[in-house]
Chain A
């Protein structure tokens, strides 16, 4: 396949590819995203290849390894077309049956279907699974249909047609369209994208740089990973259109070091794009040149911040600098630079193809389009969820997430990562919207949504975030480096029963100073987790401080594990697992005895007990 030199060439290629695929062979699509791999996905893929060989089906049945379709907790996921049957928790032993029964005979293997915990129903097709039904998967929908290492899959689904369309417009027209769409940055800042592009285009100086931010430092968030691993071309296309609109010929994709699969898939995607002429010189005969280089992060959350990111692209430490002069004017190498999150860029081809009006019809007044959230924590259906802006938190957590797991009670949902806050039950009917979330003392952030239940301690949560930020602070400015440390010390004392009455006021005072005087957003937003948990869960703080009690049963110094005598049958599982020999067997069918002075509160006894005979108070 030679280089594509025009719009017509592209359409011709697309037709050729589609023609090749007209006779649809059965296809087994197995998710190879990092999540499914963690549950044994690689073995399932290998077993499938082996089984197809064994049954002499190579060539007659396609096997496709796809990116993350989002339903991670149910992995390894296998989707069989053309029936669109979805199987969950697939193991190596299940593979022969899947091939023989479903692929060849069209029969369903009942035990591998997803079971809705609320209704007991077992939907067969991907599109019927309630987790997916209520989503609007404009960005993630193609993940289960695309092999990220095969550019033809992307082209067959209409890929790079937005780029071709964009070349027929002027850069100014493209910027106008993006402005009109109302697209706002998906990385956390929520800044109007069109406006950013315009400022960069108008800034004096050459060369101009465009950067795709795939650092995704918020712990608990993996939206960018799914996009970059599963549909890298959607990001490349968005970055290309961005570059053309701004007048940049050099692009970077900055991928977090902890995402090796994303780095690999992006590298392959760029190579394949170069081979076909979507990158390089005179792209699609437009006269526009553009090259992309991939840089990996070095393991620093602060490098998600634009100036720190650019510093690390210059081979320096990830130290932010003041943004009184914006990076769109002086960024990488002091030249005009445009930085956008990967999800923001993936929206661009959709807007160009379907129009700004189509995009702005989705969502709310202030927040247009869809947003991908990572719905994780104590919820039944954990995974990636893409919904139109404006859906309520309740609909996301209960309607799509299936509510709280293990029958526990909802306590709060943490959004916005370490810069965000916790939203309590009373506010669950809040629409997911940039401004609404900020008003509530949290923020949208990059889209992390961590659901917490009655067993989550809010003081421990605040301590967790501060510990995280203390480790990730670059250390340049006094308020952040010293202030976060002091707040963390105070919170640790509170969780250990050493809290004092004046602690809350002191936390608030340090917090105010951090908000006003920190150098970058890591510092200015560091207090959000603390302030929001104090705001909505003050009683928990007071229990820790005044009563030296942890209501959720989490803070080690304030809890005790104990044996529930009526439930214990003396099976000795806990005794064998206890690392400090704190549990003594007292004879068959007699409850074991736990010696408190030997107990280090590791919680293993509670983990291994199958009869719920270990309690926490």
Chain B
């Protein structure tokens, strides 16, 4: 029984309508949604585990696998796509030797894609640990990745 999880459920009064907000807060706290946590949520809120699991697997924001230290989000929105975002993504995949949705074996980086961050005028955009990098190109990738321990 995780106390942090219990506190979050409490904050929302165990309101089943707020299941998604609760899972989001838990993920912010634990960096992913471990199995035991989903079971705890199901028990504490009286929601069938199958439904909690459905919700956790439906929304892209949730990760049921542990994530790396640094989270890379590559925007694949239309404006970014038209300006060459796929090439930026490919270069990151090549450099880190992982595909989108995966984590490096040393748990340093997790690579995700996002379908639009709303910075369309600055495309292609990559977000690393919440920091935005605009006007990206494949050539700029390595110098940015190398700055992260």
In the complex, is A directly touching B at CB under 8 Å? Answer: yes
B51 within 8 A of A: yes
With contact pairs A296-B21, A314-B17 given, residues A579 and B91 touching in the complex (Cβ less than 8 Å): yes
Among A221, A378, A602, point to the contact of B82 (Cβ < 8 A).
A378
B83 within 8 A of A: yes
Q: Which residues of chain B are within 8 angstroms of A298 by Cβ–Cβ distance?
A: 20, 23-24, 55, 58-62
Establish whether residues A72 and B76, one from each chain, have CB atoms under 8 Å apart when the complex forms.
no
Establish whether residues B115 and A72, one from each chain, have CB atoms under 8 Å apart when the complex forms.
no
Establish whether residues A300 and B58, one from each chain, have CB atoms under 8 Å apart when the complex forms.
yes
Establish whether residues A222 and B139, one from each chain, have CB atoms under 8 Å apart when the complex forms.
no
Q: Which residues of chain B are within 8 angstroms of A312 by Cβ–Cβ distance?
A: 20, 59
Beta-carbon contacts under 8 Å, B83-126 to A: 83-84, 87, 90-91, 94, 114-123, 125
Establish whether residues B87 and A376, one from each chain, have CB atoms under 8 Å apart when the complex forms.
no
Establish whether residues B55 and A258, one from each chain, have CB atoms under 8 Å apart when the complex forms.
no
Establish whether residues A604 and B139, one from each chain, have CB atoms under 8 Å apart when the complex forms.
yes
Interface segment, one of B2-10, B64-72, B129-137: B129-137
A472 within 8 A of B: yes
Establish whether residues B139 and A295, one from each chain, have CB atoms under 8 Å apart when the complex forms.
no
Establish whether residues A376 and B115, one from each chain, have CB atoms under 8 Å apart when the complex forms.
no
Residue on B nearest A464 in the bound complex, by CB: B81
User: Chain B nearest CB: distance from A32 CB in Å?
Assistant: 12
Establish whether residues A34 and B118, one from each chain, have CB atoms under 8 Å apart when the complex forms.
yes
State in angstroms the CA–CA spacing of A365 and B122 once bound together.
Answer: 35
Q: Which residues of chain A are within 8 angstroms of B51 by Cβ–Cβ distance?
A: 316
Q: Which residues of chain B are within 8 angstroms of A468 by Cβ–Cβ distance?
A: 76, 78, 115
State in angstroms the CA–CA spacing of A333 and B59 once bound together.
Answer: 21
Residue on B nearest A418 in the bound complex, by CB: B78
Residue on A nearest B15 in the bound complex, by CB: A315
Beta-carbon contacts under 8 Å, A39-60 to B: 39
Q: Which residues of chain A are within 8 angstroms of B135 by Cβ–Cβ distance?
A: 39
A414 within 8 A of B: yes
B: number of interface residues (CB 8 Å): 49
User: Chain B nearest CB: distance from A213 CB in Å?
Assistant: 15
User: Chain A nearest CB: distance from B2 CB in Å?
Assistant: 20
Among B18, B90, B119, point to the contact of A602 (Cβ < 8 A).
B90
Q: Which residues of chain A are within 8 angstroms of B82 by Cβ–Cβ distance?
A: 377-378, 450, 452, 456, 461
A73 within 8 A of B: yes
State in angstroms the CA–CA spacing of A604 and B142 once bound together.
Answer: 12
B47 within 8 A of A: yes
State in angstroms the CA–CA spacing of A456 and B86 once bound together.
Answer: 13
A607 within 8 A of B: yes
State in angstroms the CA–CA spacing of A34 and B94 once bound together.
Answer: 28
With contact pairs A299-B59, A315-B17 given, residues A35 and B122 touching in the complex (Cβ less than 8 Å): yes
Q: What per-residue 1/0 map shows which CB atoms of A457-500 lie under 8 Å from chain B?
A: 00001001100100110100000000000000000000000000
Establish whether residues A315 and B91, one from each chain, have CB atoms under 8 Å apart when the complex forms.
no
Q: What per-residue 1/0 map shows which CB atoms of A286-322 lie under 8 Å from chain B?
A: 0000000001111111000000000011111110000
Residue on B nearest A451 in the bound complex, by CB: B82
Query: Among B19, B23, B54, B121, which residue has the most Cβ atoms of chain A within 10 A?
Result: B121
Q: Which residues of chain A are within 8 angstroms of B29 by Cβ–Cβ distance?
A: none
Among B47, B87, B122, B132, point to the contact of A603 (Cβ < 8 A).
B87
Among B21, B78, B91, B122, point to the contact of A448 (Cβ < 8 A).
B78
B43 within 8 A of A: no
User: Chain B nearest CB: distance from A79 CB in Å?
Assistant: 17
A265 within 8 A of B: no
Query: Besides the contacts A295-B18, A376-B79, what 20 more A-B pairs have beta carbons closer than 8 Å?
Result: A34-B119, A35-B119, A35-B120, A39-B134, A72-B119, A296-B21, A297-B61, A298-B23, A298-B24, A298-B58, A314-B16, A318-B59, A374-B121, A376-B121, A382-B79, A382-B120, A383-B121, A450-B82, A464-B81, A607-B138
A-B residue pairs in contact (CB < 8 Å), sample of 19: A38-B134, A39-B122, A39-B132, A218-B78, A219-B79, A220-B79, A222-B120, A258-B116, A296-B24, A298-B20, A298-B24, A315-B19, A383-B121, A417-B78, A450-B79, A456-B82, A471-B115, A577-B139, A602-B90
Which 4 A-B pairs have CB atoms at the shortest separation, nearest pair first?
Answer: A298-B59, A219-B77, A38-B132, A72-B121
